[in-house]
Amino acid sequence: MRLYLSVDMEGLAGVAHPAQTFFGREGAQDRTDYDRCRGLMAEETNAAVDAAFEAGVTDVVINDSHWQMRNLRAEDLDPRARLIIGDKPYSMTQGVGSEGDGQGYAAAAFIGYHAGAGHPSGIIGHTYAGVAVLEVRVNGVPHNEAGLNALRLGQFGVPVALVTGDDALADEIELLLPWAERVVVKRAQAAYVAESDSPEAARRAIAEGMGRALQRLDEMPLYRLPELRMEVDLRLPIMADYCALIPTVERIGPRTVAFEPPDPDAMFATFISIVRMAQVPG
């Protein structure tokens, strides 16, 4: 049985402020805190990996899904797992579709994820591009990164079994992916304020959650919708100017673009193109 792990950083225990999650820009010049969080990221990942093997998984592939997607140090990870790292065209879902090895996955787990853009208290809440994207809706329903990723995974037969992060994320997952096991490692008091479990307690909770999720795998459906329409609210009108140049994308408001893809794979590819195009101006 093969498991896909997509691992982010903002949803880790002990993380509450954006400056902890990157370095090299204003507000995060010192990489000490970022490097510490890289360690926390590896530890939560390893907790999930070890629990998966204990539950009978035979192969684990980890996708480093944070920021520039080269955060996890290979030498810090459980040697039984393999790592997808680098600048990825399919971002947080790299390796599950035609760009992968074709072997497929029995299930996926999202570790260290966070609430979507616009959540009033979700810790460091955003949807793919905090500087550009204000909200993403699929068929009129707001979707966070976990929901968008689950749609693409669903097309390739991969159900999302486990999602970990803060309580704001857990509430969103309950609406989008109610079957998924949810592990809360911190509680959001404000956008940059967390009441966090200790890293040790978080690792223990993630391991237990993985065990429960894999025991219920036959209850985990694929996330699929009968039709698709995506609307993306952008921060600035000029971002919509650029994004509306993408074929199939229509501008429907001063800062909003929309499109109707034939399937989740096309939806994801177009959305990622919008995200990257929106960050070009300015």
Q: What is the pLDDT of residue 31?
A: 82
As given in the structure block, the two tokens for residue 24 are: 């090299």
**Residue 34 and residue 119: Cα distance in Å, rounded?**
24
What is the 3 state secondary structure string of the chain? Answer: CEEEEEECCCCCCCCCCHHHCCCCCCCCCCCHHHHHHHHHHHHHHHHHHHHHHHCCCCEEEEEECCCCCCCCCHHHCCCCCEEECCCCCCHHHCCCCCCCCCCCCCEEEEECCCCCCCCCCCCCCCCCCCCCEEEEEECCEECCHHHHHHHHHHHCCCCEEEEEEEHHHHHHHHHHCCCCEEEEEEEEEECCEEEECCHHHHHHHHHHHHHHHHHCHHHCCCCCCCCCCEEEEECCHHHHHHHCCCCCCEECCCCEEEECCCCHHHHHHHHHHHHHHHCCCC
66 is catalytic: no
Please name each of the domains of the chain with its CATH number.
2-227 (3.40.50.10780)
Q: Which of 66, 114, 119, 126 is catalytic?
A: 126
| Residue 67 CB partners (closer than 8 Å, separation 6+) | 9, 21, 22
What pLDDT tens digit does each residue of the chain (282 aa) get?
A: 999 999 999 999 999 999 999 987 655 556 889 999 999 999 999 999 999 999 999 999 999 999 999 999 999 999 999 999 999 999 999 999 999 999 999 999 999 999 999 999 999 999 999 999 999 999 999 999 999 999 999 999 999 999 999 999 999 999 999 999 999 999 999 999 999 999 999 999 999 999 999 999 999 999 999 999 999 999 999 999 999 999 999 999 999 999 999 999 999 999 999 999 999 986
Largest CA distance in the chain: 52
Q: What is the pLDDT of residue 206?
A: 99
Q: What is the pLDDT of residue 23?
A: 85
**DSSP state letter for 245:** T
Pick from 17, 18, 81: nearest CA to 48: 81
